[in-house]
Structure 1
Amino acid sequence: MLSSKETSNLSAGYHDKTPIYIDEEILQEAVLEQGLQDQAELIAKQEGILFKEAPRLSLEYRNIQKIDHLWEFSALTKLNLNNNFIKKIEGLDHLVNLTWLNLSFNKIKKIEGLDGLVKMEVLNLSNNHITLIENMDNLVELTVFSIANNKLHQLNNVVYLRKFKKLFTLNIDGNPIPEENNEEKYTLFLAAYFQQLKFLNNVFLNEDIRNRASAKYNLDIEEMNQEELHAQQAAKEKRKQEAILQMHEDSFVEQLNGDYLYKNIIQNDTELKKLQCLPGVDELLEAFEQQLVDLCNQLFEVGLAEYKRRDAEVASFFARLDVDVTDSQSRASKVLADFQTEQKQRTLDLQQAAKDEKKSKMDIWLEEINVLCYNLMTVEFQLYSYLEETIRKFDNNISEMTGSFSETAQGIFVQCRELEDSHHQKVTQIAVTTLEVVAKGEAEDDLPDDVRMLFLDKNTVMDTLAASHDNHLQTINDRETQLVTRAEAWKVALIKGIEDTELKRNRMRIADIHRHADYLREQLKKLM
């Protein structure tokens, strides 16, 4: 491995060139340079390089200014972008299989844009302009990290990396950290705080260093361990609660396990609050709340049970889908294997054939290629037809489940509206009685003035009660509509996603078959 100084010298002349941007031409050139040979190279020239199949990509020493055009490299595991003009870490979101990334010798000032790289094991950010270690929380598989020769000023900031329990190699050499001037303090501090670390700045942390580090920072480490333990427990509890809330939302019954709907109904009903001072209204509200909460809890439990049924059905469908696709791939592989066995003999026969015989043998071989293409297409067509029927049945099952749940939910919402009707009638009766009492001048002395004024006009009272009732019903109706609409939208999106994915897979498979047949024909021509 080159030292920082050696690499810097190598790159000095190169960076005299004008900065450029990543484009398709650069990517095609790089992929072809890095191992696409034979069939893949032929396909690349004829129909474009299959970026999605490339396992590694090296774009160092190209004066690249911006990371871009990498969204097709879904299978990429290793990416080298060192010695460029890159100022920002971006454009890596789709590289979900990346395990190795080199961005050293660039102009990066901030660590960002790494959230989707959850498989990352080796990360090199050395020789940049980074001042803070941050935004790396999702890199849980990180084992090797180099951020040497940057602008880190605080040794305590490096403690951020303690969360990466698999990290065994760390290089922060060449940063303007004050403690770095005291090598012993610097080394012992990091050795104490990173007990799983094996190498620091390319130096092995031996047992003697470990013992001295433990003795010096024992109390600090114990305190930090306790703080981290509490933080981990709190984070675990938070994740648990978030998972529960997400399940409630996926069940379409979030916030129905309690008095949320009741509170939502009455929270803006100011006129109803005035009526609570009337004899019997408080008792009616308490009874209404309890009965409404009971109905909501009933709907909530039904929602969770139906969610589990749907979830099991979805899991079963995808398990069957994987088995069917795997079986089809095995059949196609058998067809290809049989052809390749015969291909070896046909190649030998063609090479040994007399000149006047080659044309006829070549025609026979071309026909065999057509037969291979037909057989592979047949396997794919059988799979596609079978999956179409499987998806149709799955659609029917999911539609029946969501439809049945929606009907059950609508039935419970009908009961909620009936409960509101009954409550409204009872409150109305109390209001009518109060109107009569006020009209006779027999109202209680402790009746609030604003309520007394309200009950001087019967029409105003009845209009207020009617508007309150309508608002209550509208709140119930809105929640019902939300539940039914979201359930239907989920089903439609699920089926469409499955159909689109299968159609894309089918088209890619057909294209692969045609490309392979074309490759075989080209290889045959080379034998003539």
Structure 2
Amino acid sequence: MNRLCNSMEPRVMDDDMLKLAVGDQGPREEAGQLAKQEGILFKDVLSLQLDFQNILRIDNLWQFENLRKLQLDNNLIERIEGLENLTHLVWLDLSFNNIEAIEGLDALVNLEDLSLFNNRITKIDSLDSLVKLQVLSLGNNQIGNMMNIIYLRRFKDLRTLSLSGNPIAEAEDYKMFICAYLPDLVYLDFRRIDDHMAKLAEMKHQYSIDELKHRENLIQARLEDEQARREELEEHKSLSAIRDESELTKLEKKIVEYSGDITELFNVLMTLEMQLVEQLEETINMFERNIIDLVGLFIENVQSLMAQCRDLENHHHEKLLEISINTLEKIAKGEFDEDLPDDVRSLFVDKDTIVNAVGASHDIHLLKIDNREDELVTRINSWCTHLVDKIHKDEIMRNRKRVKEINQYIDHMQNELDNLECSDLID
């Protein structure tokens, strides 16, 4: 992952390295002044830069208890550890290392900016304590499950997120999904999210988000209920009806374990449903393109046939006009022997009358051809639009029904767990 020179041996974070790093921060830095004038006092250092040091393991940072900014990018670090005492840390850069899992950050309750860019991380988790997190960089990792985005909904202050270079960023619905499920996000992959995209994303995923909010509210209510029950247990700890502490601890562990299994099941089912939605959407779009092509071909054939009808009508009009004029001339000369109906004979008064009559007939025929063409084109376009809309609506209803089923099933499982007797879990 990193681009450090392989000829250098991995190094240990010992006191010599730390002293050198503090001393090299420059005369303008408070830490540098301290280092030069009074000796190094690690507890007074606010910023520490340890990039490009070939560090394999984070260690010996417990003395920097007031550190605000820590730079550990471009090293060989494989695990996040040794940060337990850095409770005042606000900015942490661990980019360009070999980290495979997010861990060891529970104590960093004041962290606002975290960079894990260009590592080997496959899952976004273990960030629960970072309640002040505003900027999170996870680009160029191996995150492939879109459900990781839902995990980030708990960070209400998160405004900047980078996930480019991960497998999930290749998904067609990637930006829309993130904009919908993280509505407070301002920047995604170093670009500002425009209001138009945010509105479209909200409309597209509205039902799923509503269901998710409902489930989040249920979980929050359940957590509050459990907290209330724990407080009640503490208040009545002395009563004989309460089991001993070891049994309660065992019970709580099992409840947490089973609740975790239920949550994991929810994530799996929702992931499968999302994958199905994407596959069906691709299939529906392909069908829509094909049916539109077929309708276009049908319309071309109709227009071609109607053009032939117009040509035939024009030819008919010319022949009819020629015959009518010849007949008029014969009648005028008394050479027409056939007996004509009175209404037909009344047309052969003069040339203008017969030309107008034939022309009116011609216009009526052309109008009927035009109307028939418009009717066929309008009906086929209307049929196509209705068919495609129905397919899309059916898919939306199917998705809503499936999401609802998943939520109902998960709620049922959770309720079953909540209603179990203590003995059932402990045994």
| 1:256, distance to aligned residue in structure 2 (A) | 1.4
Q: Which amino acid aligns with 1:198?
A: V
| 1:241, distance to aligned residue in structure 2 (A) | 3.6
Match of 2:198 in 1: 210
Q: Which amino acid aligns with 2:68?
A: T
| 1:18, distance to aligned residue in structure 2 (A) | 1.2
Relative to structure 1, the CA distance from residue 214 to residue 152 in structure 2 (aligned partners, 3 Å threshold; closer, same or farther) is same
Match of 2:384 in 1: none
Match of 1:128 in 2: 119
Match of 1:92 in 2: 83
Match of 1:32 in 2: 23
Q: Counterpart of 1:101 in 2: which secondary structure?
A: strand
| 1:239, distance to aligned residue in structure 2 (A) | 3.0
1:112 to 103, 113, 138: 103
Superposition pairs for residues 268-279 of structure 1, below 5 Å?
Answer: none
- CA distance in 2 between counterparts of 1:260 and 1:151 reads 47
| 1:258, distance to aligned residue in structure 2 (A) | 4.9
Superposition pairs for residues 189-204 of structure 1, below 5 Å?
Answer: 189-204=177-192
Match of 2:237 in 1: 255
Deviations 1:83-142 (A, max 9, x none): 000000000011111111100000000111011111111000010001111111111110
The answer to whether the 8 A contact 1:20-1:63 is kept is: yes
Match of 1:20 in 2: 11
Q: What is the aligned-residue identity percentage?
A: 37
Superposition pairs for residues 411-430 of structure 1, below 5 Å?
Answer: none
Greater share of helix residues, 1 or 2? 1
Matched, 1:155 2:146: yes
Match of 2:66 in 1: 75
2:170 to 164, 169, 180: 180
Q: Which amino acid aligns with 2:37?
A: L
| 1:27, distance to aligned residue in structure 2 (A) | 0.5
Relative to structure 1, the CA distance from residue 82 to residue 138 in structure 2 (aligned partners, 3 Å threshold; closer, same or farther) is same
The answer to whether the 8 A contact 2:4-2:54 is kept is: no
- CA distance in 2 between counterparts of 1:195 and 1:245 reads 38
Q: Counterpart of 2:218 in 1: which secondary structure?
A: helix
Q: Which amino acid aligns with 1:146?
A: S
Deviations 1:198-225 (A, max 9, x none): 0111111111101110110000000001
Q: Counterpart of 2:167 in 1: which secondary structure?
A: coil
Match of 1:407 in 2: none
Relative to structure 1, the CA distance from residue 39 to residue 192 in structure 2 (aligned partners, 3 Å threshold; closer, same or farther) is closer
Relative to structure 1, the CA distance from residue 111 to residue 32 in structure 2 (aligned partners, 3 Å threshold; closer, same or farther) is same
Q: Which amino acid aligns with 1:256?
A: S
- CA distance in 1 between counterparts of 2:242 and 2:176 reads 55
The answer to whether the 8 A contact 1:15-1:84 is kept is: no
| 1:176, distance to aligned residue in structure 2 (A) | 1.5
Match of 2:158 in 1: 167
1:41 to 30, 36, 40: 36
Superposition pairs for residues 343-358 of structure 1, below 5 Å?
Answer: none
- CA distance in 2 between counterparts of 1:209 and 1:33 reads 46
| 1:244, distance to aligned residue in structure 2 (A) | 5.1
Relative to structure 1, the CA distance from residue 16 to residue 172 in structure 2 (aligned partners, 3 Å threshold; closer, same or farther) is farther
Q: Which amino acid aligns with 1:231?
A: I
The answer to whether the 8 A contact 2:24-2:32 is kept is: no
Match of 1:368 in 2: none
Q: Which amino acid aligns with 2:50?
A: L
RMSD: 2.2
Segments of 5+ residues of structure 1 without an aligned counterpart are: 1-7, 249-253, 265-528
- CA distance in 2 between counterparts of 1:180 and 1:79 reads 32
| 1:42, distance to aligned residue in structure 2 (A) | 2.7
Superposition pairs for residues 182-331 of structure 1, below 5 Å?
Answer: 182=172, 185-243=173-231, 245=233, 248=235, 255-260=237-242
Structure number with bigger Rg = 2
Name the count of aligned residue pairs: 241
Relative to structure 1, the CA distance from residue 15 to residue 199 in structure 2 (aligned partners, 3 Å threshold; closer, same or farther) is farther
Relative to structure 1, the CA distance from residue 37 to residue 92 in structure 2 (aligned partners, 3 Å threshold; closer, same or farther) is closer
- CA distance in 1 between counterparts of 2:47 and 2:86 reads 11
| 1:152, distance to aligned residue in structure 2 (A) | 0.6
| 1:40, distance to aligned residue in structure 2 (A) | 4.8
Q: Counterpart of 1:12 in 2: which secondary structure?
A: coil
| 1:15, distance to aligned residue in structure 2 (A) | 4.8
Q: Which amino acid aligns with 1:166?
A: D
TM-score by length of 1: 0.44
| 1:243, distance to aligned residue in structure 2 (A) | 4.5
Relative to structure 1, the CA distance from residue 190 to residue 96 in structure 2 (aligned partners, 3 Å threshold; closer, same or farther) is same
Match of 1:59 in 2: 50
Match of 1:467 in 2: none
- CA distance in 1 between counterparts of 2:93 and 2:164 reads 17
- CA distance in 2 between counterparts of 1:96 and 1:39 reads 22
Relative to structure 1, the CA distance from residue 139 to residue 260 in structure 2 (aligned partners, 3 Å threshold; closer, same or farther) is closer
| 1:235, distance to aligned residue in structure 2 (A) | 1.7
- CA distance in 1 between counterparts of 2:232 and 2:12 reads 45
Q: Counterpart of 2:11 in 1: which secondary structure?
A: coil
Deviations 1:466-495 (A, max 9, x none): xxxxxxxxxxxxxxxxxxxxxxxxxxxxxx
Segments of 5+ residues of structure 2 without an aligned counterpart are: 246-427
Relative to structure 1, the CA distance from residue 37 to residue 77 in structure 2 (aligned partners, 3 Å threshold; closer, same or farther) is closer
1:146 to 107, 132, 137: 137
Runs of 4+ more than 4 Å apart: 37-40, 243-246
Relative to structure 1, the CA distance from residue 25 to residue 82 in structure 2 (aligned partners, 3 Å threshold; closer, same or farther) is same
Q: Counterpart of 1:65 in 2: which secondary structure?
A: strand
Q: Counterpart of 2:92 in 1: which secondary structure?
A: strand
Matched, 1:101 2:92: yes
TM-score by length of 2: 0.54
